[in-house]
Structure 1
């Protein structure tokens, strides 16, 4: 038996584990998870807990109400968040800290760094961060949408060694094991490709919002930054015993051998493109994309409404995505430039101090 060589981990716990019957929080499945966290900390492993469950925890307080309404779900999250935190607090004899995030906190570089610094400071002071999406205030434009992907973003921000995603089955199967008796567990995934995604079905729980697809998306984000990622059965206490013994109780997604640098990973996997810059199909870039690769003459069309400093997608006319980039100019100005044939106008823009693309954040798409 080998103790895992982790300094810092992120563990994601879903709604079905926290409020399995949607009648408030239950410690039924949380005791073994809490024990795992305690044992990790006793071994010197820092832990960040990403916990869903606020909506499910607050649902029982809103009887005879259509809980498909976004407004009702926000109210449920507001009421349930306190109960969820109180439940975790009762299971630990050390301090915890609530960290509520929206996607806007992560896709803005300054706020992302602020979140990272806060989490680091909490961990350095032996405080357990409990992270959740801020469902009470988030909107479609601001939300991550599921805590699987949020946990991968948090794992990247905190430079974790491992991400552990608790599921209602013990990993990725070749087919849905609830429907196909011949489905077999895949213990190791070296590369996440279209075949792996094809094996992902929908959510098997009627409590949570994520399914196997979002877990694979999270694994792709984490492993591309060099973080080993596990999908394990969170309902089975033996899953956590196996992890602490250095064994793989579910599916292990192996980290990429050549991890992306953190700023490029943030741009590629955390930000959302606010628009597009369309170039000709013949447009080509070198392996090392630089800020001066794009000139005003290259821009054929501009899609979306964005401001200077926003992240946009650089795309060819045939639909091929070239790179995620940050732009030094707004969509209004670039749309004007794209429709001009006046060489003097284009030359004036290209000769300005700032190139069209910001040199700080450019991530080539694979």
Structure 2
């Protein structure tokens, strides 16, 4: 257990500093939104909404992953609500409850609220992944609060125990978040179930998610939600691998939520494996690339070598191969050496038509636009020691 620090008592969790962040994903569980008599209540959501507003005022961005649609749908039908928990019934209730769930958050937000429904398939498919990320980024740039939920009405095997916990971790990686915040009715991870073990102590800091720590998580005790501490640690594991720290805390305790505004956490902090950018750059450098390449001129090569810039169509000389939008491709200089790798916003045929043109011409040439960049800087990793391309370089 050398990888953990323990707190002192159940009611007095020590405060610790939150990692610095500019963009966060906040997941709110059903137990914080469901009223005792059915339907949704702003009782705990108000404090969480105030935290989001305070974060916005400081120039930060928040993506909200909210549960509660099924509970809201069941309350609307009241005595006519299906009693069973089969998939079709939950899908119907989720469809019915989406509107009141979004309405609740809009009533608590001075900013416009946008609903974004995703399935895990949207995030597995590269092109749909890029489309979803572009939409969320644009919403954030517009100052909108995106409210993400599982698209339960078309999900099949995704609607499982704890889907929104894991969805939140996937969304955090999708939008390049600096922090994953998981609010629930549980104040921290404990060494054992504190309801049944009086010797259980809170685990306030997890440096590494080991099998022993994962075993500490019990099953769900919620009657409204679909997840428990185990799924929260599963989500933290995904975030850990993506270089994103995770904070677990009680959304029912006003002081705990308000402390977040001062950058203080009373709960469990799970560290990241490395920095977010380090993890992403490592992935970009080592995942197998598609056959083909993007060849760029000397000016673009020099700009990329300087770091933190995107590849624009004006610096492109040619594209070889038949790669598609969203594929990982090699970027080579005029000598044919690989100087970078990245996820292409456009397919090879599209890039050939855009080569050497200004970004403002994209829509006129193609009749549509996926963005100004051929490869966005967040999807690009430079190669410190250029190597010969693994693909054939055409003259």
Q: TM-score, with normalisation over the residues of structure 1?
A: 0.70
- Following the alignment from structure 2 to structure 1, what is the Cα–Cα distance between the partners of residues 254 and 242? 29
Question: Aligned with 1:187: secondary structure?
Answer: strand
Q: Is the 8 A contact 2:66 2:148 kept in 1?
A: yes
Q: Is the 8 A contact 2:73 2:96 kept in 1?
A: yes
Picking from 85, 92, 95, the partner of 1:78 is: 95
Q: Which residue of 2 aligns with 1:49?
A: 64
Structure 2 residue 186 is matched with structure 1 residue 169: yes
Larger displacement relative to structure 2 (10-19 or 249-258): 249-258
Deviation at 1:98, TM superposition (A): 0.2
- Mapping of 1:1-366 within 5 angstroms? 5-21=20-36, 23-62=38-77, 63-64=79-80, 65-140=82-157, 146-257=163-274, 261-262=279-280
Gaps of 5+ in 2: 1-15, 291-323, 325-389
Q: Is the 8 A contact 1:48 1:130 kept in 2?
A: yes
Figure out how many residues of one structure are paired with residues of the other and give that number: 275
- Following the alignment from structure 1 to structure 2, what is the Cα–Cα distance between the partners of residues 171 and 289? 35
Deviation at 1:168, TM superposition (A): 1.2
Q: Is the 8 A contact 1:9 1:164 kept in 2?
A: yes
- Following the alignment from structure 1 to structure 2, what is the Cα–Cα distance between the partners of residues 160 and 111? 19
Deviation at 1:21, TM superposition (A): 2.8
Deviation at 1:257, TM superposition (A): 2.6
Deviation at 1:67, TM superposition (A): 3.2
- Following the alignment from structure 1 to structure 2, what is the Cα–Cα distance between the partners of residues 3 and 107? 30
Q: Is the 8 A contact 1:7 1:46 kept in 2?
A: yes
Gaps of 5+ in 1: 267-287, 293-308, 310-358, 361-366
Deviation at 1:290, TM superposition (A): 6.0
Task: Summarize the Cα distance change of 1:3–1:202 in structure 2 as closer, same or farther, 3 Å threshold.
Answer: closer
- Following the alignment from structure 1 to structure 2, what is the Cα–Cα distance between the partners of residues 96 and 142? 24
Q: Is the 8 A contact 1:103 1:142 kept in 2?
A: no
- Following the alignment from structure 2 to structure 1, what is the Cα–Cα distance between the partners of residues 37 and 133? 32
Q: Is the 8 A contact 2:18 2:265 kept in 1?
A: no
- Following the alignment from structure 1 to structure 2, what is the Cα–Cα distance between the partners of residues 265 and 131? 25
Task: Summarize the Cα distance change of 1:143–1:107 in structure 2 as closer, same or farther, 3 Å threshold.
Answer: farther
Question: What CA deviation, in whole Å up to 9, does each residue of 1:50-71 have, x standing for no partner?
Answer: 0011001111233253231322
Question: Aligned with 1:220: secondary structure?
Answer: helix
Question: Aligned with 1:251: secondary structure?
Answer: strand
